[in-house]
């Protein structure tokens, strides 16, 4: 009889709805002997779909910085037909370790941002919808929490984070309100931040589409976990890890992430840095990749109806030459 913890993991995995799964599988075009690196295992939704087509000669490598993800991995491996390994920690570091070990794979994919298992665990503080500690750490070993940032960073630094990572129109007003509030009452709970945001923005903005705290929570989560820095380190390592003909696919949810992926893919497919008016290339740049998605793949109406959280998802893919 399964333990209560195992049963909980199974229930959460079944409730998890991975984004753009069929579109991802079509681009990857996996075979029984494919060797696949899932950089952001989470609850294992994409991994289970990918591994379903792998046989004994294939390989699934799962990476995740969230210790809870390993519980989902252990629940999944009993159903796999292929060998598999799990690498804990930041995926940029895990991919680097694989490269140092001489490993090569045929496919790498990343599903960026926060996972449903994290959002739907109230005590972790990722969601503005739950009363919880202001934590937001994907890896509990990270020292700095969202509360630490709110209570200790300067007002201009907070405004920059809210604007850059959250694209928050009222970033300065919110940062000012945070600075005033924390002077007498330091932040500890999600509801305290939500109340500050609602009070700081104009009345019409409180009733606009979506929760008014969404952008600030996103910005804090990205900063706490260094998500863009990890992506910047991981992309070149993931490409080096691929065999010739291999595919790198990335699902992003933030404009800065998508731009970073797009620019990296372009640098591999169109490496020439000569001025546009040069009649022939003089820099000697040669393409090492071919873009498989001239435009990003986005969820269709049916998926959006079933999973509203997929609304900002964009999928891009690159084949290594």
Task: For the chain, give every domain's residue range.
Answer: 4-117+227-320, 127-221
Cα–Cα distance for residue pair 315/309, rounded to 1 Å:
15
Cα–Cα distance for residue pair 95/107, rounded to 1 Å:
12
List the one residue out of 97, 82, 88, 91 whose CA is nearest residue 69: 88
In contact, 138 and 91? CB cutoff 8 Å: no
Cα–Cα distance for residue pair 115/302, rounded to 1 Å:
20
Could you tell me the pLDDT band of residue 210, with boundaries at 50, 70 and 90? confident
What confidence score (pLDDT) does residue 16 get?
A: 56
DSSP alpha helices (H): ranges in 52-143?
Answer: 67-76, 91-100, 116-119
In contact, 213 and 200? CB cutoff 8 Å: no
Residues 31-44 have pLDDT tens digits of 999 999 999 999 99
Kindly report the pTM of this predicted structure.
0.90
Is 265's pLDDT higher than 60?
Answer: yes
Cα–Cα distance for residue pair 236/197, rounded to 1 Å:
38
Cα–Cα distance for residue pair 197/203, rounded to 1 Å:
11
Tell me, yes or no, if the two domains 4-117+227-320 and 127-221 fold the same way.
no
CATH topology of domain 4-117+227-320: Rossmann fold (3.40.50)
In contact, 239 and 316? CB cutoff 8 Å: no
List the one residue out of 62, 311, 115 whose CA is nearest residue 221: 115
What confidence score (pLDDT) does residue 316 get?
A: 98
Is 15's pLDDT higher than 60?
Answer: no
Cα–Cα distance for residue pair 215/206, rounded to 1 Å:
13
Cα–Cα distance for residue pair 103/24, rounded to 1 Å:
23
Cα angle 64, 82, 250 (rounded to 5 degrees) comes to 40
In contact, 283 and 274? CB cutoff 8 Å: yes
Could you tell me the pLDDT band of residue 11, with boundaries at 50, 70 and 90? very low
Report the CATH superfamily, name and number, of domain 127-221. Answer: Putative methyltransferase TM0872, insert domain (1.10.150.170)
Residues 127-182 have pLDDT tens digits of 999 999 999 999 999 999 999 999 999 999 999 999 999 999 999 999 999 999 99
């Amino acid at each position: 009889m399964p333990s209560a913890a195992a049963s909980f993991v199974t229930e959460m995995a079944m409730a998890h709805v991975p984004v753009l799964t069929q579109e991802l599988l079509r681009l990857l075009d996996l075979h029984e002997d494919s060797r696949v690196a899932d950089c952001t295992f989470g609850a294992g939704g994409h991994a289970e779909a990918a591994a379903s087509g792998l046989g004994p000669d294939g390989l699934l490598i799962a990476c995740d910085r969230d210790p809870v993800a390993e519980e989902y991995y252990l629940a999944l491996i009993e159903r796999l037909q292929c060998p598999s390994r799990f690498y804990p920690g930041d995926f940029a570091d895990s991919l680097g370790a694989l490269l140092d070990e001489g490993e090569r794979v045929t496919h790498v994919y990343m599903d960026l941002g926060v996972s449903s298992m994290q959002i739907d665990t109230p005590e972790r503080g990722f969601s503005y919808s739950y009363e919880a500690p202001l934590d937001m750490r994907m890896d509990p070993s990270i020292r700095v929490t969202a509360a630490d940032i709110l209570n200790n960073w300067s007002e201009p630094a907070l405004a920059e984070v809210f604007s850059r990572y959250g694209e928050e129109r009222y970033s300065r007003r919110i940062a000012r309100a945070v600075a005033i509030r924390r002077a007498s009452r330091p932040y500890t709970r999600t509801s305290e931040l939500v109340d500050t945001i609602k009070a700081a923005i104009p009345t019409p903005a409180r009733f606009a589409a979506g929760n008014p705290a969404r952008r600030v929570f996103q910005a804090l989560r990205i900063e706490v976990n260094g998500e863009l820095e990890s992506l910047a380190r991981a992309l070149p390592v993931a490409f080096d890890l691929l065999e010739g003909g291999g595919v790198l696919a990335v699902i992003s949810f933030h404009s800065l992430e998508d731009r970073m992926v797009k620019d990296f893919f372009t640098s591999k497919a169109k490496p020439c840095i000569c001025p546009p008016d040069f009649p022939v290339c003089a820099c000697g740049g040669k393409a090492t990749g071919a873009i498989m998605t001239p435009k990003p793949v986005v969820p269709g109406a049916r998926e959006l109806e079933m999973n509203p959280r997929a609304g900002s998802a964009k999928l891009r893919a690159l084949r290594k030459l």
